[in-house]
Structure 1
């Protein structure tokens, strides 16, 4: 806190009376697991991804894992992923029986570099999983032709990118599957939950089997599946939030434009041509001592976050037996982990909040 002003947190979930009323309505109905609210949520979310089939699940990680399980990996099958992401990206590959292969990112968008992906393809590669990090779409205009040329499947990690688009095509409408998260700090949430989008009806049916113990009809199990269903309470909250997503997205984009115009001494997030950035995170680059910079913001009552301070390939589960990282050459990934800092950008920020953020960042940049 600075003076009498409360600190501005790095993220602030929105849970209003509409969400509370929706949850109570479902609880009173007695239909609480994968019922009419889930079906309605799937139909309504489909409008965000050009009418694709939608399969609701209990988390964004489950969305990734089920999408990859549906590909039926064979031992040694490789999936190219960024190391600059949350661990769930690579964890889902491992949990589905695949081998994550790490490729470097672009310096500007923080997303997979198509040239690095091309260099990482081997005879064992079966899929590419780009992450639309921070709400900026990955270079799908280059990744999709690359995947097609090599006969590879594309699964999009769109956990942070609800309503983002590239050249008019929404994320989640490029690959065989798009995977969204509804964690409380995302651009919209359902308290917890996820959604898989696909243009393939048979793939969608397989996903529905996998999320529900391998059965479409009770006790008629067709395949080995899991319990990754979404509750109707979560779906009802998600439907309310989906109705607000458009306005919240424009507010995030307006907040980003406000910061872009006023911040000095730091590198503000660029936007690639044709990209609609939805700013799940507003991520700057800080030269010098990032942690000191972050502490300076905190002293002025402005929260921030480093996403991600350790790349996945340096996390314990992905190290060699002797504790060393694998043979990955990821210079842009390594640079980003030491420089990125995400500022508050959520839609409930006031102009006064934004001005405090600008003042704190610019003062910290001068002092750095």
Structure 2
């Protein structure tokens, strides 16, 4: 039995692959502030998505400058950001850093993305108060085209900009061929060490037009103008360094092969799980940073978590609802968030690595099946004890 399996085993490109790009910076002796590697990365990302982009030092700062750029275009009395509660904390934190109050919205029970009808209702009921909507490509899976189009139509109708947080999603294509990076007014991706495209730390902000991209780039560079004068007080330093850009470029070179391996490994893991474990709709279009599934109920999840601890196999429970976290417990809610709470109570995120071996895949599947089996046994035993107790009271 395998024990001690890590949740993720990230890898960086080989040093010679990185050095091939970093040599461009060495030659110019330019290692930050929009050097040759950063420029080349921007060119490649823009070419792939047909949208201007700004490489940034990490996706959270990318979200912050994206909200800042769009916040400046909203009415001054619009102080709210609609965000799904089933999300990573950075989505809501970016709103808070810009002085906006998160208002949490529910997700859809099947695709796990921001629910279109809930978004429309929230925009209607909070008309004039919403400065920005922050949706997610949950777990790096592009939303179905109808969902994406529903978000965009709802935001257009309400005259509210749409940001899509697609942290793990770069390289994925929606069912209609639209690539991650081409959604909403702004879309943000991460190049964190654990993401399929890795720079160690890094990310990119994709914008609907050049004017908005220029504004994001300015905010990411202290809001300096061409004369090195600060044009806004909310600028910050979110520039991507040249070494990180070189790593990202080398990682991009191997992205397609990496995604194919991840997809194959994820399919093998999922095929061995009990049939009543729910998968995200259209998950095959994702990038498989890890393997998210929903257990049939919270008891089954708890049993799998206990089994994982016993076998020292790393798993996670993404996402815990933001509205239940202490930092956000006082935030408003647009609806009852019942889907979020039910889904979060069942979530399991299973290990993924490019070098997962067949015996490790077996260990993951066995852990899930044995955990569920122990939960069923415990439940049957409990029912049997209850039945015996009831029978004794009638003797």
Structure 2 length normalisation: TM-score? 0.84
Root-mean-square deviation (CA), in Å?
2.3
Find the counterpart in structure 1 of residue 44 from structure 2. 44
Instruction: State whether residues 26 and 236 of structure 1, in contact with CA within 8 Å, keep that contact through their aligned partners in structure 2.
Output: no
Of 345, 363, 367, which aligns to 2:370?
Answer: 363
Find the counterpart in structure 2 of residue 56 from structure 1. 55
Structure showing greater radius of gyration is 2
Structure 1 runs, 4 residues or longer, greater than 3 Å off: 18-30, 220-224, 324-328
Paired with 2:249 and 2:59, the residues of 1 have a C-alpha distance of: 16
Find the counterpart in structure 1 of residue 319 from structure 2. 308
Of 68, 82, 85, which aligns to 1:83?
Answer: 85
Find the counterpart in structure 1 of residue 388 from structure 2. none
Matched, 1:17 2:14: yes
Matched, 1:243 2:253: yes
Range with greater deviation from structure 2 (64-73 or 327-336):
327-336
Distance verdict in 2 for CA 1:239–1:39, change over 3 Å? same
Distance verdict in 2 for CA 1:251–1:47, change over 3 Å? farther
Matched, 1:174 2:173: no
Find the counterpart in structure 2 of residue 150 from structure 1. 158
Alignment deviations for residues 69-101 of structure 1 (CA, whole Å, 9 cap, x no partner) = 001152443221101111110110111222221
Structure 1 length normalisation: TM-score? 0.90
Distance verdict in 2 for CA 1:43–1:305, change over 3 Å? same
Find the counterpart in structure 2 of residue 159 from structure 1. 167
Range with greater deviation from structure 2 (334-343 or 351-360):
351-360
Instruction: State whether residues 271 and 277 of structure 1, in contact with CA within 8 Å, keep that contact through their aligned partners in structure 2.
Output: no
- Structure 1: which 5+ runs fail to align? none
- Structure 2: which 5+ runs fail to align? 376-395
Instruction: State whether residues 8 and 290 of structure 2, in contact with CA within 8 Å, keep that contact through their aligned partners in structure 1.
Output: no
Paired with 1:255 and 1:216, the residues of 2 have a C-alpha distance of: 48
The structure with more helix, counted as a fraction of residues? 2
Matched, 1:297 2:308: yes
Find the counterpart in structure 1 of residue 393 from structure 2. none
Matches within 5 A, 1:185-264: 185-217=194-226, 219-224=228-233, 225-264=235-274
Find the counterpart in structure 1 of residue 381 from structure 2. none
SS at match of 2:365: helix
Paired with 1:142 and 1:255, the residues of 2 have a C-alpha distance of: 32
